[in-house]
Amino acid sequence: MDAVSGIVRGFLKRLALALLGAFLAVFGILFLCLGLVRFLTVFLGEWVALTIVGLLMTVVGVVILFASMPQRKH
């Protein structure tokens, strides 16, 4: 029973750390994007800056999605 308890405790600890890391990464990316929008509004209009950052993040998301997909070997 102690072995099962140790495995479950280790799994929950790793899960909590992974969730915390993902939350911090998303929070950091959000602040970087907001800062980039604020910077671009100095040179461009607000809607243009939001559109540029939105398109940039969409492209980054698509690249990450395609990179994480499994490769098919024929």
All structural domains of the chain with their residue ranges = 2-68
Mean pLDDT of the chain: 86
Position with higher pLDDT, 6 vs 23: 23
| Closest to 37 measured CA to CA, from 28, 27, 29, 48 | 48
Assess whether pLDDT exceeds 70 at residue 25: yes
Q: What per-residue confidence (pLDDT) applies to 5?
A: 81
Integer angstrom CA distances of residue 17 from 14, 21, 32, 53, 56? 5, 6, 22, 29, 29
pTM, full prediction = 0.62
- Asked if residue 24 lies in contact with residue 33, where contact means CB atoms within 8 angstroms, the answer is no
Integer angstrom CA distances of residue 55 from 2, 17, 50, 52, 60? 51, 31, 9, 5, 9
Q: What per-residue confidence (pLDDT) applies to 74?
A: 65
Q: What per-residue confidence (pLDDT) applies to 8?
A: 84
